[in-house]
Amino acid sequence: MHPTAYSISHYIFMLSLLTTVIIQSCAATTSPEQIVEDFITACETSIEKGSGRELRNLIAENYSDSSGRTKKEIGNLVSGYLLRNKAIYCYSLINSVKINEDDSISARVLTALAAKPITDISALPTLNSDIYWFDIKITSEDAAWKLIDASWQQAMLDDFFQ
C-alpha cells in the first residue's frame, strides 16, 4: 500500500472514530430510568458506607414532603437510622418511573435493608430485613439529581416476588 493511501485511510478512520465519540457524548441526555437508577445507587452506596453526610447531600435544599418534613428533618431521620444500625446493606427494585410536568422525576422503589449483604433476591427470605416501598421525587439542582419529596410505607417480602 502506498504510504499516502495508508495515511489517508488512517486519517479517515480516526476522523470517523472521533465523530462517533462526539456524537455519542452529545446524544440525548440520560433516560429518566437511568437517572433514577443512578440516584438509587448513590443512595445505597451512602447507606452502606454509613455516611449520613453523603445522604444529606442527595437531598434538595427545598425538600418538603406530605408530612411537612424539611431537608434538615429528613437528614436527621436518616442519620438516626444509620447510627442505630451498624451495618446496612440494600437491595432495591425500581417499580416505576415517570417524568413530571415540572421536569422532576417520580419513582416507586421497593427496598430491603438488612445487616448482611443481599447478594440477590433469592437470599431475602433467609435474612432479617426491613422492607419498604419508597415513593420518591427527584429534581435537578446544581447539576445533580436530588430528593425533593419522599414517602414510604412498610412492604412485605412477597412484594419482591410479584
Are 54 and 127 members of one domain? Answer: yes
Q: Above 90 in pLDDT, residue 51?
A: yes
pLDDT by residue (tens digit) across 63-72? 999 999 999 9
Sheet of strand 129-141, all strands in order from the earlier edge strand to the far edge: 89-99, 105-114, 129-141, 144-154
Are 16 and 42 members of one domain? Answer: no
How high is the pLDDT of residue 76?
A: 93
Query: Which residues constitute the domain of residue 155?
Result: 31-161
Q: What value, to the nearest 5°, has the Cα angle with vertex 97 and ends 55 and 29?
A: 80
Are 70 and 19 members of one domain? Answer: no
The answer to which of 9-13, 25-29, 97-101, 148-152 has the lowest mean pLDDT is 9-13
pLDDT by residue (tens digit) across 118-162? 988 999 999 999 999 999 999 999 889 999 999 999 999 999 998
Are 36 and 70 members of one domain? Answer: yes
Are 70 and 134 members of one domain? Answer: yes
Are 62 and 97 members of one domain? Answer: yes
Are 21 and 50 members of one domain? Answer: no
Query: What's the structural domain count of the chain?
Result: 2
